[in-house]
Amino acid sequence: MNMGVIEPIDPVARYVPLILRLSLYVFLTYFLIEAIPIFFSYDPNEPWPRLLWIFRTFTFLPLHEGGHLLFILFGRTLYALGGSFWQIMFPVLWFAIALKQKSQVAPFPLFWTGENMMDVSLYIRDSQDMVLPLLGGHKSGHDWHFLLTKWDLIDSCQEIADIMYYSGVVISIVAIIGGIVWAGVAFYKSATPLAPKMID
């Protein structure tokens, strides 16, 4: 006679993913708290926090410069805009793909979307005074000084930067909260016993 046997829940398989996910969002929360004041107002006399400097140098900056390369053949306006555009769009595309696949990775690129928006807001805010150190120096051109001057919006740079900055903060917070909730739901669902196996 066949009997159904319910397989026991593996506690390691349940708790380890939860701990890892929560640890990730604790790290992202720390990163956000460190980034909020720096991205709002840059002081050229103060060094960047080490963690923020590492991510800006090795992730944000390569994405930004890669955007310039993508748009290098489309005229100066798109070339100037392309750096900031791709810096934000790359994690947006990553988020969209992960969300379509219903992957729990999705909140991670969403967080970096918000962070890159905050980084771009700093660049926009600097477009009038131009004190932010740039790769290649200011002789290479300040993207947002060029763009906002061209569009006759240079006097509104602070307001435009505020919109970009606060949108980035909200998106980053939503990503952290969403990631924690998603991790909790996955943990709750993992408590459901596996379907019974039939044995002779």
pLDDT per position as a tens digit, 2-13: 444 555 566 666
- pLDDT of residue 195 exceeding 50, the answer is no
User: How far, in Å, CA of 115 to CA of 94, rounded?
Assistant: 14
State pLDDT tens for residues 132-174. Answer: 877 765 555 899 999 999 999 999 999 999 999 999 999 999 9
Name the phi and psi angles at 5, rounded to 5: -115, 120
8 A C-beta contact, residue 122 and residue 161: yes
Q: Torsion angle, CA of 14/18/21/22, rounded to 10 degrees?
A: -170
Q: Which amino acid is at 47?
A: P
Name the phi and psi angles at 152, rounded to 5: 60, 40
Tell me what pLDDT residue 132 has: 85
User: How far, in Å, CA of 121 to CA of 114, rounded?
Assistant: 11
Tokens encoding 32: 């956000």
User: How far, in Å, CA of 86 to CA of 83, rounded?
Assistant: 6
State pLDDT tens for residues 29-78. Answer: 999 999 999 999 888 788 888 999 999 999 999 999 999 999 999 999 99
Average pLDDT in the chain = 88
Helix (H) or strand (E) holding 79: helix 75-100
Closest CA to 180 of 35, 13, 24: 24
Helix (H) or strand (E) holding 159: helix 157-189
Burial of 154 (0-12, 13-18, 19+ CB in 10 A): middle
Distances (CA, A) of 104 to 31, 99, 200: 20, 8, 38
Task: Give the start-to-end residue ranges of the domains of the chain.
Answer: 19-40+49-190
Long-range Cβ pairs for the range 144-153 (8 Å, 24+): 144/80, 144/84, 146/76, 146/80, 147/77, 147/80, 147/81, 148/124, 150/77
Tell me what pLDDT residue 136 has: 61
Tell me what pLDDT residue 72 has: 94
- pLDDT of residue 199 exceeding 90, the answer is no
